[in-house]
Amino acid sequence: MAFVKKRAGIYVSILFAAFILLVLAVLTFHAGIRHATLSIIQGLYETQRQYSMRRFLAEPDFGVIVKRLESQLDIVQALGSGKSQLSLEFIETMAKVMVNARSRQDYRHLKPLLERLAVLEPRAYLPQLWLAKALLETGESGAADQIERAIALMPADDRAHRLALQLAVRQDDEPRIGRICARWAKAQQGGITIPDHFGLFDGQSLRRLAIQVIGSDGNMMISANAGLELGTRRRYEFRFDGEFAVDEFTLWLAVFPGTRLRLRNIEFLDRKAWHAVGLEHVIMLPSHGYFDRENAIVLDHRGNQNVTFVLKGPRTGSSPKRNGIVGIALDATFDKLSLTRASGCK
């Protein structure tokens, strides 16, 4: 009996050793599997770090927090592939920390870490933005250049422009305030990326628009238009491959907060011609945003959003549905609201 147990133990040891060797061989010779495995380990580690970080953020001591983040960043780099791309979990952790930074002393603690991040991620907007904020709050001479670096990466985003305005106002530089506001009004390069969300426009340019309808066969149909232009009244056409009957449709867009949509007319295209629909026969329902006194929609969301258009019948009880439609056109103006009421920005 003892001999049998001993032999069974030997077999188990051999099988275990063979399994370990197999795992090591797979990780050694299959780069894709190795990278996926390390990514999982890295993600689990950083998720645990995020939960533990919450305890330190209850009453933030940024001296302690930065030391923990430096240690975490060392491990992220060690587990990474060497590419200039930090893990999503670490960026999310940093975002939580930055939201809690308040005083100049907080930013002094954070600045060395943020400088390291900016070097590791030279083409990532948030690390460059965070460093710009730290330099501005600590009064560093390189703040202006760092702000411009962030703006260059994401011109359409408002946050770096706000830092530029803050610096210009502090310096009482009225001409520069005017230049910043003029540039902001026309800036439309850049796109929004939403972590762990695979939406219609995730990471795409804000110039993209799309209209979603339900086709005659019951399937969803989408038509895109990549020509959104700020500050100019334009007719945006959306043509579809098949016919559909419409009593409502949805406009999808990914503009930044503070964008205003002024709609002047809607047209439907059938097989013969375009036909205008009076706005008095349309109810607009934005997923985010509000209507101003001129009936324009002020969009206030940083991410994918939509406006649903519901048709009303010309009289009570009548059907608003339009049949045999193959295209929709919107006569609209998109523009940006001002970031300040300072002279030169009104």
- Which range, 82-96, 202-216, 279-293, has the best average confidence (pLDDT)? 279-293
Tokens 């063979």: give the residue: 18
Tokens 């770090």: give the residue: 49
**Cα separation, 320 vs 299, whole angstroms:** 27
Q: Does the pLDDT value for residue 230 go beyond 50?
A: yes
The predicted model scores a pTM of: 0.74
Number of separate helices (H) and strands (E) present in the chain: 9, 13
User: Left if phi > 0, otherwise alpha if psi is -120 to 50, otherwise beta: which for 60?
Assistant: beta
| Residue-wise pLDDT tens digits, 41-87 | 655 655 656 666 666 665 677 888 888 888 878 877 776 644 545 66
Q: Which two tokens stand for residue 278?
A: 């009076």
Q: Which two tokens stand for residue 236?
A: 């945006």
| Residue-wise pLDDT tens digits, 112-136 | 999 999 998 888 889 999 999 999 9
Residue 27, C-beta contacts closer than 8 angstroms, at least 6 positions apart: 33, 34, 37
146 in Cβ contact with 135 (< 8 Å): yes
| Residue-wise pLDDT tens digits, 137-181 | 999 989 999 999 999 988 888 999 999 999 999 999 999 999 999
Q: What is the dihedral of CA 121, 122, 123, 126, to 10 degrees?
A: 60
Q: In whole numbers, what is the pLDDT of the chain averaged over residues?
A: 82
Closest CA to 53 of 40, 41, 69: 69
Q: Does the pLDDT value for residue 332 go beyond 50?
A: yes
